Amino acid sequence: MHLEFRHLRTIRAIHQAGGVARAADLLNITQSALSHQLKGLEEQCGVALFVRRTKPLKLSAAGMKLLKLAEDVLPRIDALEDEFRALISGKSGRLHIAIECHACFEWLFPVLELFRRAWPDVDVDIRPGLAFGALPALAREEVDLVVSSDPETLDGIEFTPLFDYEPRFVAARNHPLARRAHIEAEDFRNETLITYPVDRARLDVFTGLLTPAKVEPRAIRQVELTAVILLLVASGRGVAVLPDWVLREVNYSSDYVTLPLTAQGMTKRLYAATRSDDSTKPFMSHFLRLARTEPLKLQRA
Amino acid sequence: MHLEFRHLRTIRAIHQAGGVARAADLLNITQSALSHQLKGLEEQCGVALFVRRTKPLKLSAAGMKLLKLAEDVLPRIDALEDEFRALISGKSGRLHIAIECHACFEWLFPVLELFRRAWPDVDVDIRPGLAFGALPALAREEVDLVVSSDPETLDGIEFTPLFDYEPRFVAARNHPLARRAHIEAEDFRNETLITYPVDRARLDVFTGLLTPAKVEPRAIRQVELTAVILLLVASGRGVAVLPDWVLREVNYSSDYVTLPLTAQGMTKRLYAATRSDDSTKPFMSHFLRLARTEPLKLQRA
DNA sequence: GAGAATAATGAATTTGTCTCACATTGCTGA
DNA sequence: TCAGCAATGTGAGACAAATTCATTATTCTC
């Protein structure tokens, strides 16, 4: 049974118009074409779809079932076509974001909130959990944007600088290291380091300090949530290194001390990786603008 | 955007098979044909439906939307085709019954109950309310069977005799006419006659007795439900004429008397009118058999 | 980097749908 | 009851679209 959308449209038109001739008009084809089509359709179905006894041709019981299907299905097609049109016009689209850096939630959420209001039709999502394979996933179009601090040169991928930040040492106020002016790699040798549960290659402390200096902390404890890390630090269970944007509230609390890493302080830059063909999309450039400016406001606040 | 079922099937196949070549196999067409199709489809949609960066071709975000549509719509098509197949094989169908005679509910319900069990896939319904236009509605395929006591010769319509019945006079036990051996037309002149709310031409008392004798009852009261008619009769508010099958319980009640109309008694025959092309359908002939035999059992009971 | 697997392209062919012209049917009103 | 009209059905040829075969271009894998 070789059913086609054309047939559904035909059935609907015949019902609406009440007759083949009028329906043909609706569909912008000849009455003859429609008649041929009906003949073929009924042959295919093997059922009488129409009552031919009456002169303005009418739908039979089986025809009504087809009509019902048509009235269910056709609007969905139209809806999809609308979606595609919106996609083409740039009003809709997908923005699935992979974050390599676990702490990014903190500034990303406020940015996404702003974004969501400006582009309600864009399908937004954050996908943690593919921290390592994020860039390949970007190339494969499984995600549309990757937040990373290690830009690479890759074909079809662009890295846009977002903002600079400073990974800072955090310890409890009464911690032995709390009086220092700054912290060096060696200082970690006797400490329990609390980190996000990701690979070392994705942690600023290791890539920027401990690994080059070949220093291993006494112990490492992996904790998922930023708030919990701070809790453990406050109660003296360990020390941590966190980006400054996470620490803006902590600075006002008497429980913590935050110190620069090394005498010069460490500075890192965050990038957004996108596919080149996406960079022209208006919602994408808007998101990048927000991600460049909004986190800075938070850092100052 | 010239979407076709073929395209939905294609999208689904590509997703299932994970690649164009395998999908082409599934669909029993060449890989080349499929490739051409995809090209055309993407051109039509104006959106990238696939990720071509990767080698086993994959669906893009927009492609996934199409896939979703396909997975919603295609099973419904298949379901309809199944329905049509059942229709062809004779297991399913429609049996919408119009009753001219209002009292027929009484025997029709038990018959339909039996029928429903034997033919669960047949769409059964009773349609009162088109008492007059029932036969034209039958010709127009708005209903599939008409219960009537006035057979006519009509093209494409067959009348099948069902069973004979006797319209009988009913009155309260203490009614003045209750002692008679039988009732004549003249006896109604001073009575309130309680009937179903239908045209006189459809009421046996009038067609068979009062109209030929040019007798008009003192009053007529129209009541919908058989039980209510009997209630009114019992309390002496009027008399009625009802088919014997309705009266089988009444005969055992001391509240009523039922009497024959005229000395010979009146006998009527009930018919089922169907379209000739339906008469070959197995469920139809089964229904007719049930409607011939089951009411008799009830009359005897 | 070679070879297998996968997808894209081009030209010819097949398939299917449409239109045009005409036949047929059923309904309506004198 | 018959003419006349409006609606539906049919057939042949034109045209467009989908498919195939043969071939080329990719990219993945070892």
- Mean pLDDT rounded to a whole number for chain A: 86
For chain B, the distance separating the N- and C-terminal CA atoms, rounded to the nearest angstrom, is: 67
- At residue A244 the predicted structure's pLDDT band, cuts being 50, 70 and 90, is confident
Q: Which residues of A215-236 are buried (b: 16+ CB within 10 A; e: fewer)?
A: bebeebeebeebeebbebbbee
Beta bridge partners of B96: B125
Pick the CATH number of A5-83 from 1.10.3720.10, 3.40.1190.20, 1.10.10.10, 1.20.200.10: 1.10.10.10
- Mean pLDDT rounded to a whole number for chain B: 87
Superfamily of domain A93-158+272-293: Periplasmic binding protein-like II (3.40.190.10)
Which of B80, B91, B140, B155 would best serve as a mutation to test chain A binding (most A beta carbons within 10 A)?
Answer: B80
User: CA B39 → C1' C8, Å?
Assistant: 9
For chain A positions 229-288, those within 8 Å of chain B (CB to CB) are: none
**Is the Cα torsion angle A96, A101, A105, A106 positive or negative in sign?**
negative
For chain A, the distance separating the N- and C-terminal CA atoms, rounded to the nearest angstrom, is: 67
Say yes or no to pLDDT of A79 above 60.
yes
Interface contact flag, A84 B62, Cβ < 8 Å:
yes
Interface contact flag, B140 A61, Cβ < 8 Å:
no
Q: Judge whether A31 is closer than 8 Å to chain B, CB to CB.
A: no
Segment A100-112 shows an average pLDDT of: 83
Say yes or no to pLDDT of A115 above 80.
yes
Segment A72-90 shows an average pLDDT of: 87
**What's the confidence (pLDDT) of residue A219?**
92
Give the residue from A159, A160, A177 showing the smallest Cα distance to A168.
A177
**What's the confidence (pLDDT) of residue B192?**
94
pLDDT in tens, A26-57: 888 988 889 888 888 888 888 888 887 776 77
User: CA A37 → C1' D14, Å?
Assistant: 18
Interface contact flag, A123 B47, Cβ < 8 Å:
no
Angle at A137 between CA A132 and CA A142, to 5 degrees: 135
Interface contact flag, B84 A1, Cβ < 8 Å:
yes
Task: Judge whether residue B50 contacts strand C, using its CB and a 7 Å cut-off.
Answer: yes
Residue whose CA lies closest to nucleotide D28 C1'? B55
Say yes or no to pLDDT of A218 above 90.
yes
- At residue B250 the predicted structure's pLDDT band, cuts being 50, 70 and 90, is low
Q: Which residues does A54 contact at the CB level (< 8 Å), separation at least 6?
A: B140
pLDDT in tens, B94-143: 899 988 777 788 888 889 998 888 888 888 998 876 666 788 888 888 88
Say yes or no to pLDDT of A253 above 80.
no
**What's the confidence (pLDDT) of residue A261?**
92
Question: CA-CA-CA-CA torsion for A275, A279, A282, A286, nearest 10 degrees?
Answer: 90
Segment B262-268 shows an average pLDDT of: 91
Q: Which class does domain B93-161+270-300 fall in?
A: alpha beta
Q: Any idea where the domains of chain A sit in the sequence? A: 5-83, 93-158+272-293, 167-260
Tokens 């027929």 identify what position? B104
* Same CATH fold assignment for domains B5-89 and B167-260: no
Q: Which residues of B229-264 are buried (b: 16+ CB within 10 A; e: fewer)?
A: bbebbbeeebbbbbbbbbbeebeeeeebbbbbbeee
φ/ψ region of B46 (left if φ > 0, alpha if ψ in -120 to 50, else beta) reads: left
Find the CB nearest A53 among B51, B72, B139. B139
Segment A93-118 shows an average pLDDT of: 85
Residues A127/A97, Cβ–Cβ less than 8 Å: yes
Segment A175-193 shows an average pLDDT of: 91
**Distance from C-alpha of A283 to C-alpha of B77, rounded to nearest angstrom:** 38
Find the CB nearest B51 among A3, A88, A140. A140
Say yes or no to pLDDT of A25 above 70.
yes
**What's the confidence (pLDDT) of residue B221?**
92
Q: Which class does domain B5-89 fall in?
A: mainly alpha
User: CA B22 → C1' C4, Å?
Assistant: 16
Interface contact flag, B84 A46, Cβ < 8 Å:
yes
pLDDT in tens, A255-267: 888 999 998 989 9
Residue whose CA lies closest to nucleotide D21 C1'? B32
Instruction: Tell me which of A70-79, A132-141, B118-127 is least confident.
Output: A132-141
Sequence length of chain B is 301
Say yes or no to pLDDT of A138 above 60.
yes
- Return the beta strands (E) in chain B as ranges: 50-51, 58-59, 93-99, 122-127, 145-148, 157-165, 167-172, 192-195, 219-222, 239-243, 256-260, 268-275
Percentage of chain A surpassing pLDDT 70?
96
Give the residue from A206, A174, A207, A208 showing the smallest Cα distance to A193.
A206
Q: Which bases of strand C sit closer than 7 A to a protein CB?
A: 5-11, 17-22, 26-27
User: CA B284 → C1' C2, Å?
Assistant: 72
User: CA A71 → C1' D6, Å?
Assistant: 29
pLDDT in tens, A199-210: 787 888 998 899
Q: Which residues does B71 contact at the CB level (< 8 Å), separation at least 6?
A: B12
**What's the confidence (pLDDT) of residue A157?**
86
Say yes or no to pLDDT of A128 above 80.
no
Q: Judge whether B78 is closer than 8 Å to chain A, CB to CB.
A: no
Tokens 């000849």 identify what position? A30
Sequence length of chain A is 301
- Please tell me what DSSP assigns to residue B261: B
Q: Judge whether A65 is closer than 8 Å to chain B, CB to CB.
A: yes
**What's the confidence (pLDDT) of residue B241?**
94
Say yes or no to pLDDT of B57 above 90.
no
Give the residue from A272, A298, A29, A287 showing the smallest Cα distance to A161.
A272
User: CA B282 → C1' C23, Å?
Assistant: 37
pLDDT in tens, B175-232: 999 889 999 999 999 999 999 888 888 888 998 899 999 999 999 999 888 888 988 9
Interface contact flag, A5 B1, Cβ < 8 Å:
no
Q: Judge whether A9 is closer than 8 Å to chain B, CB to CB.
A: no
Which of A80, A85, A122, A155 would best serve as a mutation to test chain B binding (most B beta carbons within 10 A)?
Answer: A80
- At residue B167 the predicted structure's pLDDT band, cuts being 50, 70 and 90, is very high
Task: Judge whether residue A4 contacts strand C, using its CB and a 7 Å cut-off.
Answer: yes
Residues B288/B144, Cβ–Cβ less than 8 Å: no
**What number does CATH give the domain A167-260?**
3.40.190.10
